[in-house]
């Protein structure tokens, strides 16, 4: 028995939804970054499943690029987090409200 590709897509959708929920509910800026990584992972799973279904390699190449972008984003984002922790003494996103009108 083979696992249908739609199962992978459902799992990918569920993981993406949980990532969105974490992004909205969490208040710690590091955890918010982690939920972005979770969403990127969910999208990667959909890419690999579609690449498999259509027997095309392009999906895997896209996953490769997504991983590269995620690594770059994590480096810059965590540098910003460190700056924020030094300047604000807090990791709570509600404390960073100077640009909020």
Partner 1 sequence: MVAVIVFFACALLAVTGAILLILSREPIHSALSLILVMVSLAILYLLLGAEFISAIQIIVYAGAVMVLFVFVIMLLNAGVEERTDFSKFAKFVGLPLGFFLLFEVARWLYTSRAGSVITHGAGTVTQGFSTRTLSAELFQQYLFNFEATSILILIAILGALVLARKNP
- Closest CB to partner 1 among residues 87, 98: 87
* Nearer to partner 1 (CB atom), residue 1 or residue 99: 1
Site for partner 1 in 34-63 (CB under 8 A): 34-35, 37-38, 41, 44-45, 48-55, 57-58, 60-61, 63
Q: Are 49 and 8 in contact (CB under 8 A)?
A: yes
Q: By CB under 8 A, what part of segment 69-88 binds partner 1? A: 69-76, 78-83, 85
Minimum Å gap between C-beta 96 and partner 1 is: 13
Measured from the CB atom, is 8 or 96 closer to partner 1? 8
Phi, psi of 28 (to 5 degrees): -85, 130
Structure tokens at 27: 């208040």
| Tally: H helices and E strands in the chain | 3, 0
Q: What is residue 28's three-state secondary structure? A: strand
């Amino acid at each position: 028995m083979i696992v249908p590709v739609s199962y992978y897509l459902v799992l990918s959708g569920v993981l993406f939804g949980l990532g969105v929920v974490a992004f909205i509910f969490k208040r710690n800026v590091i955890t918010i970054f982690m939920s972005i990584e979770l969403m990127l992972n969910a999208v990667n799973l959909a890419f690999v499943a579609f690449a498999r279904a259509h027997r095309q390699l392009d999906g895997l190449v896209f996953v490769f690029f997504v991983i590269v972008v995620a690594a770059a984003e994590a480096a810059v984002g965590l540098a910003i987090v460190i700056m924020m922790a030094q300047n604000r003494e807090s990791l709570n996103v509600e404390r960073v409200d100077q640009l909020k009108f």
